[in-house]
Amino acid sequence: MMQDFVFTSESVTAGHPDKLCDRISDAIVDRFVALDPMARVEAECAVATGTLFLAARFAAAVGLDLPSIAREVIAATGYVGGAFDAASCSILTSLAETTTAARVEIDEHALDDAGIEAIPATHQVTAFGFACRQTEELMPLPIVLAHRLARGLERARAELPWLMPDGKVQVAVEYRARRPARIHAVALTAALDPDRRPTPAVLEEALRARVIEPCFEGAEVRPDARTRVLINPGGAFLVGGPARHAGLTGRKTAIDTYGEYARHSGAALSGKDPARIDRIGAYAARWAAKNVVAAGLAESCEVQLSWTIGLARPVSLVVETFGTGTIAEETIAKRLEQVFDFRPAAIVRAFDLRRLPARAQGGFFAKLASYGQVGRHDLELPWERLDRAEALAAG
């Protein structure tokens, strides 16, 4: 196992076209589930130039104006006026409303064990959850820093009027003995208003002061004299967003999870209602892995869960601790089976996913669309709880 290496992760701002599509898709899920907790919905977007294509399939007791929801999200993201405008962009739709019989007319909180067992997975997926002791969030350091920088880039728009909504950051961390040792490089790509763009020197000074320095303030691992800092290394990045490059729901799954430091499913997370095991399974796997690490059973842990269509229980549960486990991986897996219930209805009940969109101000799922769907300290995510660590440690 390699001990010394450099690892990079990237994140993007909420105005990146892919993330814009994720936010629209999840805003639609939020709106349906908030008004009809039993609604079934799948929503996907593609965006380019001045056009948004919205495809949705749903079964709900309510009707919604989906293009209007999309325009609200586009405006809130900062695309007002210019080449891609919330009010004037073309929105093409492919909407399929299925019968209300397709809705889930079951309250998981009222089910007994037989009732939970009777609700199978309706999709196939192998989901991965990961946790490690590199950060307070029990996440890999590169993706935590990348999200922090991307958030800083978005916040800087309030003070730097020439910054456009689209931006991307990349962080390279140097590891020694598989522990983060120093920041190898930081790269920021920020879209600029062509009519007000600053000189390269002004741009670099502003982003160093308002984005990079606050991100690393007080950090144990921070840039040093040898760290390479790159600002718009590809040259002037003008306008950005859908007017510059296309976007698609579900394209940034590595950003949604572990920054490619750990494995993740190829299935998109955004745009799917709480009944979709390919979404909630990723959350359940993260919950399990995080509690394993918090219980002191490993320094790093990956939990692999596989579901097949027609069965409620996972057909596979595999634990990998990368040589850091304090007990055998097979023993950890057995404890997970005893402490957690990974059946779809049990996951929905444990996370209360049908009620969260109505309770969360501004929606629930849409807040996950940018800056990661796991490892978040700014949101009270049920899969980030450490409520099973004690039971796992006790065995």
Tell me: the pLDDT tens digits for 6-38? 999 999 999 999 999 999 999 999 999 999 999
Tell me: the pLDDT tens digits for 309-355? 999 999 999 999 999 999 999 999 999 999 999 999 999 999 999 99
| 395 confidence band (pLDDT: 50, 70, 90) | confident
- Taking 60 as the threshold, does the pLDDT of residue 101 lie above it? no
Contacts of 131 (CB under 8 A, 6+ apart): 138, 139, 286, 289, 290, 292, 293, 294, 300, 301
| 98 confidence band (pLDDT: 50, 70, 90) | confident
> What mean pLDDT, rounded, does the chain reach?
95
Contacts of 191 (CB under 8 A, 6+ apart): 15, 163, 164, 165, 166, 167, 237, 238, 239, 240, 241, 244
What is the arithmetic mean of pLDDT over 166-192? Answer: 97
33 lies in the same domain as 170:
no
233 lies in the same domain as 211:
yes
SS3 call for 168? strand
Residue 279's pLDDT is 97
Q: By residue range, what is the domain housing residue 219?
A: 5-11+141-240
Q: Please classify residue 100 by burial: count the beta carbons closer than 10 Å to its beta carbon, then call 0-12 exposed, 13-18 middle and 19+ buried.
A: middle
Residue 97's pLDDT is 87
Residue in the block written with tokens 């916040």:
155
Residue 1's pLDDT is 62
90 lies in the same domain as 186:
no
DSSP 211: I
For residues 248 and 134, give the distance between their C-alpha atoms in angstroms, rounded to a whole number: 31
Between 107 and 138, whose confidence is greater?
A: 138
Residue 179's pLDDT is 95
Tell me: the pLDDT tens digits for 206-247? 999 999 999 999 899 999 999 999 999 988 899 899 999 999
63 lies in the same domain as 187:
no
Percent of the chain with pLDDT over 70: 98
31 lies in the same domain as 147:
no
Looking at 100-104, 111-115, 121-125, 360-364, which range is the least confident one? 100-104
127 lies in the same domain as 194:
no
286 lies in the same domain as 336:
yes
Full-model pTM: 0.96
Domains in the chain: how many in total?
3
| Residue 387 in domain | yes
Instruction: Write the CATH number for 93.
Output: 3.30.300.10
- Taking 80 as the threshold, does the pLDDT of residue 364 lie above it? yes
122 lies in the same domain as 262:
yes
Tell me: the pLDDT tens digits for 108-157? 888 899 999 999 999 999 999 999 999 999 999 999 999 999 999 999 99
Residue 76's pLDDT is 97
114 lies in the same domain as 101:
no
| Residue 316 in domain | yes
> How many residues belong to the chain?
395
Residue 2's pLDDT is 77
